[in-house]
């Protein structure tokens, strides 16, 4: 199973990549939504894990564009919120645009892996 991690924080991408690869997943990463869209045009991913607040193209805009082209691909949003925007509002936006699940930073990588396994079992 191939998973794309989209987050502008290199340490988050590294942590998730390491945990997911240790769990047996094939992982690629992108530092923002624009790079992710380019990868999605040339590769097929089984899951997307994306941050919301990133430069160039944020996770909500990425999610909107993905739903037009790859509506069946599960998307898990990870967010730590943003200044003056409550984290609950960010999560609600993500769900409105079709996020399959939202994780609030900081979270346990094991919880994300368990959710991926659970979601994959029902696909």
Stated pTM of the model: 0.91
Q: What residue segments make up the domains of the chain, in order of their start?
A: 2-121
CA distance 110 to 123: 20
Neighbour tally for 73: CB within 10 Å: 17
Band of pLDDT at residue 81, cut at 50, 70 and 90:
low
Q: How far apart are CA 35 and CA 6, in angstroms?
A: 9
Fold of the domain built from segment(s) 2-121:
Rossmann fold (3.40.50)
Phi and psi at 66, nearest 5°, equal -65, -40
Q: In whole angstroms, give the CA distance from residue 11 to residue 107.
A: 14
Q: What is the pLDDT of residue 83?
A: 56
Q: What is the pLDDT of residue 23?
A: 98
pLDDT one-digit tens code per residue, 48-57: 999 998 889 8
Joined tokens for residue 83 = 């200044």
């Amino acid at each position: 199973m191939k998973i794309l991690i989209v987050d502008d924080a290199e340490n988050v991408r590294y942590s998730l990549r390491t945990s997911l690869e240790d769990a047996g997943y094939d992982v690629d990463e992108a530092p923002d939504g624009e790079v992710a869209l380019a990868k999605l045009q040339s590769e097929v991913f089984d899951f997307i894990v994306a941050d919301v607040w990133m430069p160039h193209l944020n996770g909500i805009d990425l999610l909107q564009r993905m739903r037009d082209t790859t509506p069946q691909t599960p998307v898990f949003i990870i967010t730590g919120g943003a200044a003056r925007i409550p984290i609950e509002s960010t999560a609600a936006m993500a769900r409105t645009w079709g996020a399959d699940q939202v994780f609030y930073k900081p979270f346990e990588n094991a919880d994300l892996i368990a959710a991926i396994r659970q979601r994959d079992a029902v696909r």
